[in-house]
Structures are given as structure tokens and as C-alpha cells.
Amino acid sequence: MTGGEIAGLIAASAFAVLVIFIAIVLWKISKTVDQVTKTVDEANKTISVVTNDVDILSRQVEGLLVKSNDLLNDVNQKVATIDPLFQAVADLSDSVSELNHSSKNLVSKIGSAGKATSKAGVVGKVGGAAFRAMRSKK
């Protein structure tokens, strides 16, 4: 074997190893691409399911919002009809408070007059006793 034949044999062996290595890499890449394709398909199915669920949820939420708006409007109307009642109760409370204050003033005035009357009654009794005592001396 000559040097050229040995060089050719080494080059052919190196090329064969290179081809085998490239074949192994391509086979692994093929497996990876298959797995990625399966993963993408599953992701697309999941996205489709989630999209359908979100559509259903959005319709339900829209219905709930409409119902809550109707309920809020109803409550606002009822509160508007009750407001005069609360105003009347507040006015009545003010009137009762004023009546209470006036009653306290009247009671304190009557109490003061009663004290004055009782003093006058005591003075009258003392005066009457003195008058009778003087009369009996005459």
C-alpha cells in the first residue's frame, strides 16, 4: 500500500465516521422535532379549550353584570323612595329633642316656683301663727 492509498483510506474512514455522526445527529433531531410537534399540537388543543372556556365565562360575566346593574338600579329607586321617610324621621327626632328640652325647662321652672311657693307657705304659716298669737294677747 502506498502513501496515497493509505491517505485515501483514512479520508474514506473519516468521511464514513462523519456520515455516521451526521446520521445520528439527524436521527436525534428528527425525534426532537416529533416531540416538539406533539407538544405544539397539545398546546393548540389546550389553547382551543381555554378559548372556549373564556368565551363561556365572558358571556356569563356579561349576564351577571347586566343583572347586577338592574339590581343596583332597583335599589337606587327604592332608596330614592325611602329618603323622604328618613328625612321625616330626622325632623321628628329634632322635634322630640326640642320637646324634651322644653319639658326640662318647664320642669325646672315649676320646680323653682314650687320652692318659692313652699317658702311662701312656710312664711305664711309663721305669719299666721304670729298673727293668731298677737290676737290672742289682745
CA angle 45, 47, 50 (to 5 degrees): 110
Mind listing the pLDDT tens digit of every residue in the chain (138 residues)?
788 899 999 999 999 999 999 999 999 999 999 999 999 999 999 999 999 999 999 999 999 999 999 999 999 999 888 888 888 888 888 888 888 888 888 777 776 666 656 666 666 676 777 777 777 765
Residue found by looking up cell 373564556 in the block:
54
Q: Residue 3, CB half-sphere, CA atoms under 13 Å: how many?
A: 0
Note the pLDDT of residue 113: 61
Torsion of CA 107, 108, 109, 111, to 10 degrees: 80
Cell of 46: 389546550
